[in-house]
Structure 1
C-alpha cells in the first residue's frame, strides 16, 4: 500500500526497531509517557512474560524506503477463546495491538497484515486494539489526549481513531476512567454509609500484609477471578501471571493502599491502589542509565505528592446484587483516600478503567463526585 512494505519481526534488530518506533513517532506529544524500554522488551519476550504461556503472537514492522513507519502485534489468547462469546471474547476472536503508525497508508498496511495473519491462524473476528492482554492496555484513547496517562494506561495519537474506523471497525465497548480530588472528604451520604459499616461487627476492612505477600496475592486472585467472571472481556488470570505481576508491582505496592474486606472472617472484596509512577519516568526516555535508576529508586522509597490510581477492585459475585457490595467499596475507597492524603500527600486520584455499562461501579464513581477524564474504545470487525 503506497510503497509500504510489511514484514514479520525476526531477530534482535527487528525487535529493537519495533520498540524504538514508538519513541520516535510519539516524541512530539508532550502527554505521551515513554515506557522503560527494558519493560517493553520483557513484555514481548516468551519465557519472560507468562502471557505467552497461553497466547500466540506475531509482531510486524512497516517500512517505506527502508525507514520504519509503524508497528503492530497480531495475537490471540487461548484462554480468551474458551470464554462465552456473549462476554466479548470467545472462539475465533483474535486481537491486534501495540499499534503505531506514521500515516494512514502505514496504518492500512499494518491492520490489513494483522488481519491476514489472524485469518491464517483460524480467527474469524478481531477485537482491537488490545496490547497485549485485556489486563494490560486495552482500547484506543479517544478522550483525554490533553493530559498524560497514569501508570499502566495507554496513550495514542488522536489520528488513529479515523484510520481504524476507516478500516471497517465498529465500537464494541467503551472503557472509562474517572478522576477526583482525594484531598476533599466524600459527600455526607458516603460518609454515613462508611460509618454504618464501621458499626457492623461482621465487617472488617484491613490492609494487606506484605510479609504474607504470596498468600495475600492468592486471596486477591480468587476474589478477582470470581468477581469479574461475568464481565465483558473477562479472561482469567493465571497463577503464574499473578506471581509475575506481583513481582513487577511489588516496588509500588504499599500496605495501606491495598485493602481486603472480610465478612464474618471471609475475604469477600478487595481494592488495589498504586501511586502513579509515570511523572517519575516521563523524562527518562525509556532508559534508566546513567542517572534514571537513582531518581526512580529515590521516588519508590519516598513517593511524596503522589497521584493515585485504582486499577482493580472486586466483590464476590454472591454479594454483588446486595447493598453490602457498595458499602464495602465505599469503606475501602475512604480508608485508602485517608492514607493517600495523610501519608503520601495525594491530591488527585483516578479510578478505572470501568466498562461503560457497569452501572454499579459508575454509581459508586458518581457518588464520590468523580468525573470521566479518559475514554478508551475497543473495536471489532468480522474476518470474512
Structure 2
C-alpha cells in the first residue's frame, strides 16, 4: 500500500510538472493576468495590502516608469491547466552594472523580482526561466528579489509576516524563502525596519543631545517648503546621492526618476514631516517621513472606482494614521561617523515625532529599510528604543 501511495504521489507530481507552462508576458491580457495574480494568492492573508492596480501597471510599463530609461526587463507567467499560478520578472539595471562590484552591484549583475508562485515546482520553473533570459543578456550573477529598482521594493520578507507592511514596503508568503534557497540562492544582504512607540519621549540622553543642538547657532533644522518643491527635491537628492554613495547596493537616481517619484509622492508629502538640517547655512542632512498610505489603501482592494477615490482623497487632505514611516534619511559623507551627524539625526527625528503625534494622531513609527551593516543608522535606531520588526533578505547566485 505504501509503495502504491508513493507511486501515485510521484505520478501526480510528474503530471503537475509537465502540465506547467512558462511563457513571456505578451499583450494586454497577459499583463492583466500578471498584475492580478496576487489577489488570488493572498486572498486569505490578512496582512497583505492590495496595491493600486494602475500603479503596478505604471511600474511595469516602459515609457511610464523612468526606470526603463536605464533598464531592460522581461516578464514571465506560469500556467497550469490554463490557470495562472506564478509570475516573475527578469531585469537588468544598466546603471547598477556600472557601479563598483565591492558595493554589491557591478558588471554582469542582473535581477529577478515581482516573484509569486503557488508551489515549489512553479517557483523553480519561473526562476529557471528568468535565469535563462538573464544569461542570454550576458548576465553572470543574479541578485534578487528586487522589484524592480533597488529604490522600490528590494528583498524577500523573511521575518515580520504577522503585521502589514507600511507604504512602499513589500509583503510575501513565508514559503518563498525555502523556494528561493532551494533554487541555489544564498543570502548576501539583509535590510531591516525598526518600529517604535512615538508617543513616548526619547531617553534622557537623546533629549539632552537635541537640546544641545538647539543652542548651537551653527545648526538650523527646518521643514521643507512645498511651494518650492523642485528646489527642495534637488537639495534632498544632492544630500542623498552623497550620503548613500558608498552604501551597498547604491544606484544613482536620475533626474527623470526624481521628477516621477516627486509627482507620485506629492499627495503624501507634508511639510512638517520632512526636515532639512543646515550647518553654517549649508544643507547637510535630511529626513523624509510619510504617513502610512497603506492604511488607506487596504480597504480599496486595488481600485479607486467607482467611488473609492473619494475616500482616498478625503484621507489625503488631512491624514490621521497610526503609523509614520521614515523611508529615507541621510547625512553628507564628510560628517558621517561624527557626533554632529548623530545630533542632526536626533533633532530631525524628534521634531518630526512631535508633529506626527500632535497633528496626525500617530502613535507608531517605522524606520527603514536599514542595511544590516549600517552601524550608524542601526545605532541611532537602538538609541531611540527602536526594535526590529521586519527583515528583508537579498539573495545572490552565480550563473
Q: Which TM-score tier does this pair reach, normalised by the shorter chain?
A: over 0.9
Q: Within the alignment, does 1:103 sit opposite 2:116 as a pair?
A: no
CA RMSD of aligned residues (A): 0.7
The CA distance in 1 between the partners of 2:388 and 2:139, in whole Å, is 34
Query: How far did 1:24 drift?
Result: 1.1
Residues of 2 paired with 1:176 and 1:48: CA distance? 30
Q: Specify which of 292, 296, 311 is matched with residue 280 of structure 1.
A: 296
Q: Post-superposition shift, 1:27?
A: 1.1
Inter-partner Cα distance in structure 2 for 1:37 and 1:364:
36
- The aligned residue for residue 244 of structure 2 is 228
What displacement does 1:284 show? Answer: 1.4
In structure 2, what is the Cα distance between the partners aligned to 1:307 and 1:174? 23
Which of 201, 204, 213 is the matching residue for 2:217? 201
Partner of 1:62: 78
> Helix, strand or coil for the counterpart of 2:221?
strand
- The aligned counterpart of 2:368 is 352
How much does 1:307 deviate?
Answer: 1.2
- Distance, in Å, in 2 between the alignment partners of 1:51 and 1:368 is 35
Give ranges in structure 2 of 5+ residues lacking alignment: 1-16
Tell me if the contact between 2:67 and 2:149 (Cα under 8 Å) persists in the aligned partners. Answer: yes
Residue of structure 1 equivalent to 2:326:
310
CA contact (8 A) 1:143 1:374 kept: yes
CA separation in 2, counterparts of 1:153 and 1:186? 26
After TM superposition, where is structure 1 displaced by more than 3 Å over at least 4 residues in a row? none
> Which runs of no fewer than 5 residues in structure 1 stay unpaired?
none
CA distance in 2, matches of 1:322, 1:183: 28
How far the C-alpha of 1:321 sits from its partner, in A, is 2.3
The answer (yes or no) to whether the contact 1:175–1:355 under 8 Å persists in 2 is: yes
Instruction: Return the TM-score normalized by structure 2.
Output: 0.95
Is the CA contact 1:223–1:316 (under 8 Å) kept in the aligned structure 2? yes
* Among 21, 27, 49, the residue aligned to 2:43: 27
Measure, in 2, the Cα distance between the counterparts of 1:305 and 1:165: 37
Higher gyration radius (CA): 2
Higher helix share: 2
1:375 equivalenced with 2:391 (yes/no): yes
Instruction: Work out whether 1:148 is the aligned partner of 2:164.
Output: yes
The equivalent of 2:275 in structure 1 is: 259
Query: Is contact 1:2-1:105 (8 Å) kept?
Result: no
Aligned-partner Cα distance in 1 for 2:329–2:18: 46
CA distance in 2, matches of 1:290, 1:30: 24
Aligned length: 383
**Per-residue deviation at 1:306?**
3.7
